[in-house]
Structure 1
Amino acid sequence: MTITREAPLRTSLKPSDHPYLSGPWSPVHEEVTVDELEVIEGAIPEDIDGIYLRNTENPVHQPLGRHHPFDGDAMIHQVSISGSKASYRNRFVRTHCFEAEQIAGRALWGGLMDPPGTGERPGFGAHGGLKDTGSTDIVVHAGRALATFYQCGEAWQLDPVTLEPLGKAPWGPLDGVSAHPKVDEATGELMFFNYSKHAPYMHYGVVDRAGKLVHYTPIPLPGPRLPHDMAITKNFSILNDMPLFWDADLLQRDIHAARLHEGVPTRFALIPRRGRADDIRWFEAAPTYVLHWTNAYEDGEEVVLEGYFQDKPMPDPLEEAGEYSHMMAYVDEHSFQSRLHRWRFDLATGETREERLSDRICEFGTINPDYLMRANRYVWSTTTRPGWFLFDGYVRHDTKTGEEQVYRLPDGVYASESPMVPRKNASAEDDGYLVTFLIDENTQSSQLAILDASDIAAGPIARAALPHKISSGVHATFVTHAQLAADARFHARRSAA
């Protein structure tokens, strides 16, 4: 195993006992490349061939005020797997804000829990005053990795193979890009949304396979909202307007406090992929908040949407967390009680039907990507340690039978969001793997881990040692080398023409 280290960064972060600056959330500041990871358990399957990318909230500088786990700088951890071998590298996302703080050698922006205007620089995002970190999501589109921020900053591009920074996406609109854009590999299109505190409060756009913005339209809402994710089907994009949003009276005083607005339903906007505001079909449903969808598809005259319904979207403070009581509750699935759920929108009648798919508290789900926009049977969710934003296991849901298979990691070991990767020449929907990073607080180490998606209860079938312990993070994706090669051929033909 050969390790190459990049030039050290400037950091002003001090040792801390803050729950999201220590333990499994301890930041790592070195950037390295490892040519081949040492396999320490089992064997990496030969029928995985692609790249696993995971985004990370990884602060570099001492916070100016109160630190929230989603204030960190974006660090992408990447493993490339081919021929039963794996290489590793990690790099920070070089946003404009990251570079400005590297020059200054200290933090210039406040965080999510700080009053607006904290810091020395004007901020970005729907919240106002925040640093644009690109630290929430990671997808691959048109041969480029895109790191995005859930408060609507720029979309930051990287080479998915080398992690070389490629600057901000030139198609990004003035109101930014939210996390969770969706890619349709069949058409090569990327669908995205943004939201803001000024009318019309939301926009929706489409970027084609060549990386060109080909559609952008307002989605008028009654006021500022806090959507987090979207979904796509073959013909529609699905956006939402949910009753958990900023308190209007406090917002007039520039105080950003979200509350559940009683009596306000959840609304879903079904818009044709390149439709306009007049084309939207609105559907109402039970009040809730949803962080993440798992899939959507068309079923005759119905559009089906699946995701995680929160039974208590405005959770009680976790008193045992002291000064972090509110923060802990809003990042704790056991406080907001998220469960797998299905919505059915009847295009003929305009009615919505709902059903609970699981009583288990879980979130951050994945499906076989070959079943995106198709009726799928299986969902793989993560479970979390109560009171924390830490993944401590997995659930494999069979949405046809209701059967659930569970794997719980050993105490002190935590996972990352784990894409389902179909086996080459897969024979069934669940014929494949879950790919993840593990953080082991018992040994102060991290590993690449691979699980059999059809038998997660057996635990990892392979583990490979990473060169350092990484910090817990947020979203991840997997792209095959075949898809990257197809993107490269498309761009080569386009350049030649």
Structure 2
Amino acid sequence: MTKPFPAALAEGIDEPCRFDIEVADLELIEGEVPTDIDGLFVQAVPDPMYPPEVAPLWPMTVAAGGDGAVRAFRIKDGCVDFKTRHVRTQRYLLEQAARRSLFGNYRDPFSDDPSVAGQDRTTANTAVYMHAGRLLASKEDGLPYEIDPVTLETKGVWNPGGKITSKTFTAHPKWDPANGEMHGFGYAARGETTRDLAYYVFDADGEMVHEAWFEAPYAAMIHDCALTEHYMLFPLMPLTTDLERLKAGGQHWVYDPDLPTVIGVIPRKGRADQVRWFHAPPTFTGHTINAFEEDGRIVFDAYECDGNGFAAVMPDKHGRMGDPSKVTTRAMRWRIDYHAPSEELTEHQVLAVADGEGPHIDPRRLCQSYRHVFAPTLNRSRLITDRNGRVVPVFFNQLTHFDLTTGHREDWYAGEGATLQDPVYFPRSATADEDDGYLIVVLNRPLEKSNELVILETRRLAAGPVARLKLPVRLRLGIHSNWIDGSLIPAWR
């Protein structure tokens, strides 16, 4: 019989769920589900099956170390079916056979049980995306796992033709809507704490058509990337890793506020000797929004923090944990001339004060100029306390539409005590305007330990949901979400 989970993992709405279930036809609380919606809303969720047997238990292990699960909402004909299922990674299967936790802290093989030395540690718990008719669950410390989009059964590691030689692959590849290519990469590609990057391009059929290896200036987290018509970009986060620190029992990542902003740029399908590393004063680059080319230069938009963007889960290089409430996030724009003689960046523009994360745009506008951004945000003035007088922890309590052309923003506040997970945005139709579509999001009610699925129309966002649906079970916090049009799933064509 499994032991109790430690308090850090057993408190509040984020207590492990540990189940694989499906529920047909979710109960409608309010409104109507639009009948023109036909697709799959998917989300990656870290959900530990067994309590970790490691001390100390680092905050990043609590937040993002759980076994991967795929959460899926099938929406069609005004109805919503729900299903969630754990990804049967090698790690998951080994622990199921042992009926206990065998793997230790986040990205720390030295904290594992000796019986699993050298085994694949990835949990595939960070993002879920579709390419070439395959649904892939991914975490950036290993290769993706292919998932059946209808049953959510695990098909195995995705490595087309065995051609991916990197040990890792990003949870945030980018697509060219013009030709269907997927551009991705692996960092720490030769193993944890290494500076190696492997850049890959896959055609619309899923075949690998390009590979290039090179090294980053230092061993950093490279969580996201960006793609333009002619270039691929790699923004380094000021989070460093060190092999000796890991061996000594330290945390995998630490924040270094003194490191410069570094953005690597390589031509599409370029060689290692064509990579340029551009530098600017220190910032904390988060998720990318989009990138495109204008007047011969690269326009790169991303979220940036004025402090430790992972303050809640990662210490700085002096071992101090930060205060997330004191960190401001802004949508920022860089202009980069790949052919400039200098690699110093100077053109930096604030697009919006976001105080949020997970920006979403119309997928048709990837690699092109765009205008509209949809994101979960935080209204700090509307936080509440629980019955013990403690502030209810909130990442996001609003959904926001930013118009980058006019500077206008529109917010929908989720309600007292409610919090929001990562939403998805998709246009109403193939011919709809860039800002005319739907936002779908899982809403949390932490004090009641319950959840809802919420659907909103973006052109009347402040008016609130057009549909709210009840989840008959409590759901753990997921990480990244995605929308997959029903026409892209082979079994539904």
TM-score, normalised to structure 2, is 0.85
State the 1:250 CA deviation: 4.0
Query: 2:388 is matched with which residue?
Result: none
1:339 aligned residue: 330
Tell me the alpha carbon deviations over residues 313-346 of structure 1, each in whole angstroms, 9 at most, x when there is no partner. Answer: 377789xx9xxx966x4xx753543221111112
What is the match of residue 386 of structure 2? none
Q: How many residues align?
A: 464
Q: Distance in 2 between matches of 1:357 and 1:190?
A: 27
Alignment of 1:247-396 (within 5 A): 250=245, 253=248, 255-256=250-251, 258-261=253-256, 264-313=259-308, 329=322, 333-349=324-340, 352=345, 353-384=347-378, 388=393, 390-396=395-401
**Cα contact 2:120–2:142 (8 A) shared by 1:** no
Q: Match for residue 73 of structure 1?
A: 67
State whether structure 2 residue 32 is matched by structure 1 residue 43.
yes
Measured against aligned partners, the alpha-carbon deviations of 1:163-217 in whole angstroms (never above 9, x if no partner) come to: 1211000234342212212233432222211122466522111122222222121
What whole-Å deviation, never above 9, does each CA across 1:63-105 have from its counterpart, x for those lacking one? 1121521111111110111122221111101100001111111
- Is the CA contact 2:6–2:51 (under 8 Å) kept in the aligned structure 1? no
Contact 1:334–1:387 (CA<8 Å) still a contact in 2?
no
d(CA) in 2 for partners of 1:13, 1:409: 36
Q: After TM superposition, give the deviation of residue 256 of structure 1 in Å.
A: 4.0
2:135 counterpart of 1:140: no
The 1:387–1:373 alpha-carbon spacing in structure 2 relative to 1, beyond 3 Å, is: farther
Distance 1:30 1:258 in 2: 30
| Structure 1 position 115, deviation (Å) | 8.5
Whole-angstrom distance in 2 between the partners of 1:201 and 1:256: 20
Instruction: Name the Cα RMSD after superposition.
Output: 2.9
Instruction: Confirm or deny: 8 A CA contact 1:333 1:362 kept in the other structure.
Output: no
Q: Counterpart of 1:455 in 2: which secondary structure?
A: helix
CA deviation profile, 1:23-48 (whole Å, cap 9, x unmatched)? 22122222222232222210111221
2:17 to 21, 28, 37: 28
Note the 1:423-442 alignment, pairs <5 A.
423-424=428-429, 426-442=431-447
Partner of 1:176: 168
Residues 31 and 56 (structure 1 numbering): CA distance in 2 closer, same or farther, change over 3 Å? same
Deviation at 1:478, TM superposition (A): 0.4
Alpha-carbon distance between aligned partners in 2 of 1:341 and 1:227, rounded to the nearest angstrom: 18
Q: Which runs of 5+ in 2 are unaligned?
A: 384-390
Contact 1:242–1:287 (8 Å) recurs in 2: no
| Residue 236 in structure 1 maps to residue 227 in structure 2 | no
Give the Cα separation in 2 of the matches to 1:488 and 1:189: 22
Which structure 2 residues correspond to residues 460-479 of structure 1 after superposition, within 5 A? 460-479=465-484
Cα deviation per residue 1:259-294 (whole Å; 9 max; x = unaligned)?
Answer: 455654222122122111122233222322223111
Q: Which moved more, 1:246-255 or 1:163-172?
A: 246-255
Percent of aligned pairs sharing the same letter: 30
Q: Structure 2 matches for 1:438-457, cutoff 5 A? A: 438-457=443-462
User: Is the aligned partner of 1:188 residue 2:180?
Assistant: yes
State the AA in 1 paired with 2:284: Y
The 1:453/1:341 distance shift into structure 2, 3 A limit, reads same
Change (3 A) 1:446 1:85: same
Give the counterpart of 2:407 among 399, 402, 405: 402
CA distance in 2, matches of 1:208, 1:175: 21
Q: TM-score, normalised by structure 1?
A: 0.85
Counterpart CA distance in 1 for 2:90 and 2:286 is 27
Taking the aligned partners of 2:465 and 2:320, their CA distance within structure 1 comes to 35
CA displacement at 1:50 relative to structure 2: 0.9
- Cα distance in 2 for partners of 1:272, 1:155 equals 25
Unaligned 5+ residue runs, structure 1?
Answer: 1-10, 490-497
Q: Note closer, same or farther for the CA distance 1:378–1:278 as it changes in structure 2 (3 Å cut).
A: same
